Structures are given as C-alpha cells and as structure tokens.
Amino acid sequence: MSIKNHHHVDAIETLKRMGVRITPQRNAILSYLLSSTHHPTAHDIYEALKDDYPNMSATTIYNNLRLFKQANIIRVTYSAASSRFDANLMEHDHVICRRCGSITDFRCPLLPMAESEIIQATGYSIESHRLEIYGLCPSCQTEEP
C-alpha cells in the first residue's frame, strides 16, 4: 500500500472513530488534499471538485476542512491572506512567497541540532515545531514590483 493510500485509510479510520460519516463529498475533499502538493486554498478545492460534485457548496468545503483540522489529518498554513491546507503530516517546513502565496515544502537538516540547542538553553521538552520562511518565489523575483 502506498504512503498516500495508507494515509487515506488512516484518515478515514480517524474520522470514523470520531463518529463522522464518510460521505462521497467528504471522501473527495480528503482525496484531493492527499493528492495535492501545492497547498490548496478552500477555493482551489471547490474549483477542482465542483464539476464532479455540483451540489457541493463552498460551505461544505469549509466545514470539512475545519473537521479535518480538528481530527489532525491536515495542517493549515497561512500565506498571502489565505489559508492553505496540507495533508502531508510528515515533519517538514515551508517557504512562502509573500507576493503570490505559493508554498514550497522543505526539510532543513540543521533543525535537529537547533532543537537540541534550544532544549539545552531553555529546558523545554520539544514536541514539534513549525518553521515558515517568507520571501519571493523565483517567478515573483522576475516580475516587476
């Protein structure tokens, strides 16, 4: 079973344990998020699914995203005044374009060392971290301001 399929099955099981009914629309939203690598907005999801699910409203999208967030099966990242949704729950960080809002995943091999130093300096037990770096993506760097 692929990682994506495994994550989909885990997410469905998590929702079922919460007593959530798995509707075709809910499953479609979840599948879209799991197959997306561009951190879609709610509007992106709506636009991608509206032809296959003409009765699905934007409210349905928002309500399911809120539910998925409560179930810890997606992450929310904010960029260029919009919420972006990410079903990749593996440890990773983001570089966010402050102009167009695009988000790129990255992993920094230096962070484990930084976390060790933070633990020593503060005495905290680190459970997780969230690193977001803001700048201009390559496309926006070539555009006029």
For the chain, the domains span 3-86, 93-142
Residues making up the annotated binding site for Zn(2+) are 97, 100, 137, 140
Q: What is the pLDDT of residue 128?
A: 85
Task: Find all residues with CB under 8 Å of 46, minimum gap 6, and list them.
Answer: 56, 58, 61
Binding residues: 93, 97, 100, 129, 137, 140
Domain 93-142 has CATH 3.30.1490.190: yes
Q: What does pTM read for this prediction?
A: 0.79
Q: Write the pLDDT tens digit of every residue in 69-118.
A: 999 999 888 876 788 899 888 888 999 998 988 899 898 889 889 999 99
Binding residues for Fe cation: 93, 129
How is residue 81 annotated by DSSP?
A: T
Fold of 3-86: Arc Repressor Mutant, subunit A (1.10.10)
In this predicted structure, what is the pLDDT of residue 3? 54
Tell me which of 145 and 73 has the higher pLDDT: 73
pLDDT exceeds cutoff 70 at 4 = no
Helix (H, G, I), strand (E, B) or coil at 77: strand
Q: Give the tens place of pLDDT for each residue, 25-82.
A: 999 999 999 999 889 999 999 999 999 999 999 999 999 999 999 999 998 888 767 8
User: Do residues 80 and 100 touch, judged by C-beta distance below 8 A?
Assistant: yes
Would you state the pLDDT for residue 91? Answer: 83
Q: Please write the tens of the pLDDT for every residue from 79-88.
A: 767 888 998 8
Q: Which residue has the tokens 């680190």?
A: 126
